[in-house]
Amino acid sequence: MRIIARLDIKNNYVIKGINFEGLRKVGSPTDLCTKYYKDGADELVLFDSVATLYSRNNLFDIIKRITEKVFIPVCVGGGIRSLDDIKMALYSGADKVSINTSIVQNISFLKEANKNFGSSNIVVSIEAKKNKNNWEVYTNNGRDKTGLNVFDWIKKVQDVGCGEIILTSIDHDGTRNGLDLDLINKIKKISVNVPIIFSGGIGTVKHIEELKKIFPDEALALGSALHYNMLKLNELKKIF
């Protein structure tokens, strides 16, 4: 099981909240990425949490500094709106880019990204929130409803083509109370042929074991549990 450190970034600081709200600074991106690399993270995922909102890309300089010290795959997301943005992210040292809002707005952008950079470099980010009995896709760091059903959207983006999907439960994000197992069990019932990175809610080893029972070989992304030292990567790697 790949264990990935997730860092949400705002204005050059790693931040974290609960359900994408109440964001607080928790440290330096470079320092934390270096620490998680040394502690045994398999990959790093970095999101600019306000890039789409303010129509900017703020991570390229940060990525350059991080990849001078870190030698594991790095995925960057937030505000990726064009092929030039993807090119700049990869040129800055990222191995993969994660895209959400721009693909929801224009699915052809996913086709163009695959054609120009290869699907292995493109990760589709899906922010999921439960509304009544339906899980809906959100964009803009959990701010905007789309009306899209999560399961239908997973099928669509994998049919168009992508290297991976990173699925974040907005309801569970930052809570450290466990993953959205109802959502995950429903995903198990549909045909998914690309790797999924599950994010949102991990706080204990038991939570990881629960995911492993459903998806033994998929990846998980940890944020709060690492930032607040509830779980330690070097210990987790001994178990998983």
pLDDT score, position 143: 85
**Tell me: the pLDDT tens digits for 47-88?**
987 665 555 566 888 999 999 999 999 999 988 999 999 999
Instruction: Considering the candidates 8, 43, 48, 173, report the single residue annotated as catalytic.
Output: 8
Structural domains of the chain ordered from first start: 3-239 (3.20.20.70)
Is 90 exceeded by the pLDDT of residue 11?
no
- Determine how β-strand 96-99 pairs with β-strand 3-10: unpaired
The pLDDT value recorded for residue 79 is 87
**Residue 148 is which amino acid?**
L
Alpha-carbon distance of 149 to 16, in angstroms, equals 26
Determine which one of 43, 48, 85, 127 is catalytic.
127
Q: Six-digit token pair at 184?
A: 């995950």
Annotation says 8 is catalytic: yes
- Rounded CA-CA distance 24/4 in Å is 21
Three-state SS string over the chain comes to CCEEEEEEEECCEEEEEECCEEEEEEECHHHHHHHHHHHCCCEEEEEECCCCCCCCCCCHHHHHHHHCCCCCCEEEECCCCCHHHHHHHHHCCCCEEEECHHHHHCCHHHHHHHHHHCHHHEEEEEEEEEECCEEEEEECCCCEEEEEEHHHHHHHHHHHCCCEEEEEECCCCCCCCCCCHHHHHHHHCCCCCCCEEEECCCCCHHHHHHHHHHCCCCEEEECHHHHCCCCCHHHHHHHC
pLDDT category of residue 18 using cuts at 50, 70 and 90: confident
Whole-number pLDDT of residue 23: 73
Distance, CA of 240 to CA of 1 (rounded, Å): 6
Alpha carbon of residue 4 to chain centroid: 9
The predicted-structure confidence for 80-112, as pLDDT tens digits, reads as follows 999 999 999 999 999 999 999 999 999 999 999
Residue 220 has pLDDT above 70, yes or no: yes
Single pTM value for the model: 0.94
Q: Mean pLDDT lowest for which of 19-33, 60-74, 121-135, 201-215?
A: 19-33
CA atoms within 13 A on the CB side of 56: 9
